[in-house]
Amino acid sequence: MANVLVLAEHDDGQLKLATLSALGFAHQVCAAAGGAYSVLILGQSLGDATEKLRGYGAASVLVADHVALKEPLADKYAHVIAEVARTQNATLVVGAASTFTKDLLPRAAALLDAGMISDVIEVRPEGTDFVFKRVMYAGNIIATVKLEGAVKFLTVRAAAFAPPAQTAELSPATPVAVDAGKLPAQIDYVGREAKVAGRPDSTEARVVVSGGRAIKNAEDFERLIGGLADVLGGAVGSSRALVDSGITPNSLQVGQTGKVVAPDLYIAVGISGANQHMAGMKDTKVIVAINKDAEAPIFEVADYGLVGDVYQVVPELTEKLRK
Amino acid sequence: MKILVPLKRVTDPDTKIRLLPDGSAVDLDGVKFAVNPFDAIALEEALRIKEKVGDVEIIVTSIGGDECVEQLRVGLAMGADRALLIKTVEPLDSLAIAKILAAVYQREQPGFVLMGKQAIDDDSNQTGQMLAALLGLGQATFVSKLELLDNNTRARCGRETDAGIETVTVAFPAIITTDLRLNEPRYVSLPGIMKAKKKPLEEIALADLGVSASSRTRVLALEPPPKRKAGVRVKTVDELVDKLRNEAKVI
Ligand SMILES: Cc1cc2nc3c(=O)[nH]c(=O)nc-3n(C[C@H](O)[C@H](O)[C@H](O)COP(=O)(O)OP(=O)(O)OC[C@H]3O[C@@H](n4cnc5c(N)ncnc54)[C@H](O)[C@@H]3O)c2cc1C
Ligand SMILES: Nc1ncnc2c1ncn2[C@@H]1O[C@H](COP(=O)(O)O)[C@@H](O)[C@H]1O
């Protein structure tokens, strides 16, 4: 019997879709091994996200709504997550792999002396326990692993688990008592850079258009990569090269150490296809590569490759798709 | 002030990792090893702090077999003051490593720990956060901008999150983990290598450190990722549009 606690993620009260994959994982585990799952959300003014979470078959939606939790500070959040995991007798604590969960779950795990597995892509029951598959070495190796301990922490790759079916019956929302005086206070929030509005997040979009070093400056990125993404209703992404040179913000980086995306369509524009980049997009359904170097490694994973200069090909492609 | 910088020995990021033909382990034949790139960034930052602040001792530490001496020597050649090897041949997971680092921390009592956000071999991204929890300290992860405040008792950290840069301050002692944009590590110089030979490198057997740290995770099998089927080259934009519309049906 599994007792799964799912950590929900939201952006200023807007539920992140990846949370549904973590719920999908929990649903799959409970369907295979028996048991139930709850979901925990932390923050302030969580009404909308809480309502959404109630429709996915959780035994309860645990809501830690408190002004002290307005910002996701690791010391406070991990404390609450560990407390809830303990009082709920959770056997598995899971979140979708993101910078949010990666900051918090290992810390909460260690508070409970629990081990953790990151980037799980598969789970299957084995006796009363589970075995997991996870990716490592920039996506070049998949390991089958077991984790000992009464409570196990995990992050899952969003693309690997489908959201559970929505239920007509709503899960009860249960408040979690937060004693602000008992929360650690070693970290203070200062601020967050303004979000680039308008386009979807690359981890949630059906189409991602990504630019690499071929793109010479921010204006060209917006015109070529942004323009192509917009006709497809897609998100934009980039290689590390463009982030390092200040052309794109870090939130666009796709790869081993950036975001992992798995859209229906990924268009790599002037990206060579380094290991570390491919680690973040290899699970895409259809990959298109546009590159002037016919030998570029990106062509080895591309379903459709076009050898050409992106400064000519991309405007033409955008124009033709507009029709 | 002391700064503790863990250095993990990992396979070089530029080598393509493959399994042995029987799939039992990673094929390390002819593979180069390096200091985990994020740890090199952490050490570089510590060196820059030392250059600015003056009275700083930088201690690099590695947990693993004798071969890790190679990476500790690189750390010393870059400019660290002394090195500590915690010797063990056990494969250890992040929680076990964090427990060992916590013991090293207790022994050295540094002002703070600067370390990589992720080891590029296991890609776990856990150890720093676990270490912070075990020591009851604050943490700032994925840091790409670091500034010491209030007479080096706090740090202002720019963190690379999925939503963009978030800024926090954290009180020392604290655990800070590095992201790619923090700096570009210096190369090891010949005088650096010569100087490193005279710097202290202490070895301690894990058993003598007084921590019980065994792995909770156990690897049962390894396999290569599924191969993508070979794609096709298209000659024109029209052909590409046609394929995407009528063959792949993704637009
Ligand atoms: C620890 C570590 C972590 C890393 N993490 C990541 C990560 O998460 N994500 C990531 O992306 N990288 C990451 N990298 C960096 C990675 O190794 C590569 O350096 C990077 O992905 C290269 O980016 P690029 O393909 O844009 O640039 P390049 O490799 O320089 O490729 C540019 C490509 O553009 C083509 N080109 C140039 N001009 C034109 C033109 N006019 N028309 C058409 N084609 C053109 C060239 O033929 C070339 O193939 C990491 C590296 C390390 C060491
Ligand atoms: N064997 C080790 N020796 C020294 N430091 C390590 C070791 N393993 C992990 N670390 C540190 O922990 C960080 C994160 O590793 P991980 O959690 O495994 O991704 C690394 O960047 C190192 O700073």
Residue A198 confidence (pLDDT): 85
Q: How does pLDDT run across A153-200, given as a tens digit for each residue?
A: 999 999 999 999 999 999 999 999 999 999 999 999 999 998 777 899
Amino acid identity at A121: I
B231 and A265 in contact by Cβ < 8 A? Answer: no
- Confidence band of B229 (pLDDT split at 50, 70, 90): confident
- On chain B, the residues whose CB falls within 8 A of the CB of A120 are none
B108: distance to nearest CA of chain A, Å?
A: 21
Which CB contacts under 8 angstroms, 24+ apart, belong to B154-157? Answer: B155/B112, B156/A190
Q: Do B220 and A119 touch (CB under 8 A)?
A: no
Kindly report the number of other CB atoms within 10 A of residue B204's CB atom: 17
* C-alpha dihedral, B63 to B65 to B71 to B72, nearest 10°: 60
Both tokens assigned to B111 = 């002002």
| B64 close to ligand 2 (CB < 6 Angstrom) | yes
Domains of chain A: 2-182 (3.40.50.620), 207-322 (3.40.50.1220)
d(CA B167, CA A65): 22
Yes or no, beta carbons of B133 and A256 under 8 Å apart = no
pLDDT in tens, A19-71: 999 999 999 999 999 999 999 999 999 999 999 999 999 999 999 999 999 99
Measure A241 CA to ligand 1 centroid, in angstroms. Answer: 5
**What are residue A187's DSSP bridge partners?**
B170
Q: Which residues of B179-202 are buried (b: 16+ CB within 10 A; e: fewer)?
A: bbbbbebeebeeeeeeebeebebe
- To the question of pTM greater than 0.90 for the whole model, the response is yes
Strand blocks (E) in B162-212 = 164-171, 174-178, 201-205
Q: What is the pLDDT of residue A168?
A: 96
Q: B152 exposed, middle or buried (CB, 10 Å; 0-12, 13-18, 19+)?
A: middle
Q: How far is B54 from chain A (nearest CA, A)?
A: 26
Residues of A in contact with B244 (CB under 8 A): 265, 286, 288, 304
Give the pLDDT confidence score for residue A287 in this predicted structure.
Answer: 98
Q: Is the CB of A248 under 6 A from ligand 1?
A: no
Give the CA dihedral B78, B83, B87, B91, nearest 10 degrees.
-40
CA of A276 to the centre of ligand 1 (A): 9
CB B233 within 8 A of CB A307: yes
Query: Residue A153: helix, strand or coil by DSSP?
Result: strand
